Amino acid sequence: MSEDKNLKTNPVAAPAVSEAEKSDIRTPTSEIIRKFKKQRNSVIALIFILFLLLISIVGNSLVPFGINDYDYSAILQGPSGAHLFGTDEFGRDLFSRIICGTRISLAVGLSAVTVGAICGTILGLLSGYYGGFLDSVVMRICDTLFAFPGIILAIAIVAILGSGLYNVVIAVAVFSTPTFARIVRARTLALKESVFVQAAINLGASDSRILFRHILPGAIPDIIVQYTMSIGSSILTASSLSFLGMGAQPPTPEWGLLLSNGRAYMVTTLHTTLFPGLAIFLTVLSFNILGDGLRDALDPKLTD
């Protein structure tokens, strides 16, 4: 407000805006960043996610042991200086295996949700904008996909395609598509009636220009929030499928699979189930907290 007043009442002073005052200028982006920074949890979550991404890139070459270094003299040992998280039933270092598993879990979560988000966004834009028959077909498909609760759809798809990580990615992508389609469609329907889109239509802008330059940017905040939230739940679903024996196959160091292997020894050793589960929990938690923070920061209705 203050710079507004400055500009109006004292135009001469305007060019002399100091650096300090410049940082006071509120743009939509700076507002979002400011709101986001206020949520300390979300900032910590973001830092943790960046750290996980770093691990998934460089971790494999930094780990103290190879993921398949068998050591039969050190089977099922508890956490120690040499083996931070202990060893598994083949004497493999659990710490190294969990670090290397970061790449797998993030890759599965990110790729599945990215595919789901792209397909869902395109379907949502088209069916919201064109309406009519296309809209009914797309929404009917979404209804059908929604009729299979939770993980059941993913299990059904894996049962058709066979076990394996790639099929889990496909299953989770299919599973997350309808949510994106619904969200983007709702936003498209609202924006289609807005004055600036009507103006663009009257100016003779092409459909693709209207969709991608005028409507899509308006839907981006919704997509970002849903994207972040979906990554958490996708990692959870994917690791559940691996746990059930339908995803990653041994000796892949996938977290859900590590946990499933650990169950046979859980009566005697806790660490084989404790650490892989903790890895899944912390990763999913940080994506969910980040999603919450982004939702609050991107929602213009929420004021403090």
* 62, 147, 195, 203: residue in contact with other proteins (rule CB under 8 A): 147
Q: How far is the CB of 150 from other proteins (least distance, A)?
A: 3
Is 17 or 278 the residue whose CB approaches other proteins more closely? 278
Q: Is 152 in the site for other proteins (CB under 8 A)?
A: yes
Binding piece for other proteins, criterion CB under 8 A, among 7-15, 122-130, 192-200, 270-278:
270-278
Please tell me the distance from the alpha carbon of residue 159 to that of residue 128, in angstroms, as a whole number: 33
Task: Note whether 245 binds other proteins by CB under 8 A.
Answer: yes
Q: How far is the CB of 128 from other proteins (least distance, A)?
A: 21
Rounded CA-CA distance 254/269 in Å is 19
Q: Does 150 bind other proteins (CB under 8 A)?
A: yes
Q: Does 224 bind other proteins (CB under 8 A)?
A: no
Examine residue 294 and tell whether it contacts other proteins (CB under 8 A).
Answer: no
Cβ distance 75 to 87 under 8 Å? yes
Question: Should residue 273 be labelled a site residue for other proteins when binding is judged by CB under 8 A?
Answer: yes
Q: Which of 190, 127, 165, 135 is nearest to 247 (CA)?
A: 165
Examine residue 277 and tell whether it contacts other proteins (CB under 8 A): yes
- The reply on whether position 160 binds other proteins by CB under 8 A is yes
Binder among 14, 58, 82, 159 for other proteins (CB under 8 A): 159
Q: Applying CB under 8 A, what is the total number of residues that bind other proteins? A: 44
231 binds other proteins (CB under 8 A): no
Residue 18's region, left for phi above 0, alpha for psi from -120 to 50, else beta, is: beta
Ranges within 52-111 binding other proteins (CB under 8 A): none
According to the binding rule CB under 8 A, does residue 225 interact with other proteins? no
CB 93 within 8 A of CB 69: yes
The answer to whether 282 and 300 are in contact (CB under 8 A) is no
Q: Which of 246, 257, 294, 297 touches other proteins (CB under 8 A)?
A: 246
Say whether residue 47 binds other proteins (CB under 8 A): no
Residue 148: left (phi > 0), alpha (psi -120 to 50), or beta? beta
| Residue 161 touching other proteins (CB under 8 A) | yes
Instruction: Return phi, psi of residue 170, to 5°.
Output: -60, -45
Per-residue interface string for the shown chain with other proteins, residues 127-146, x marking contact by CB under 8 A: -------------x--xx--
- Interface residues with other proteins (CB under 8 A) are 41, 140, 143-144, 147-152, 155-156, 158-162, 232, 236, 239-240, 243-246, 256, 259-260, 263, 266-267, 270, 273-274, 276-278, 280-281, 284-285, 288-289, 292
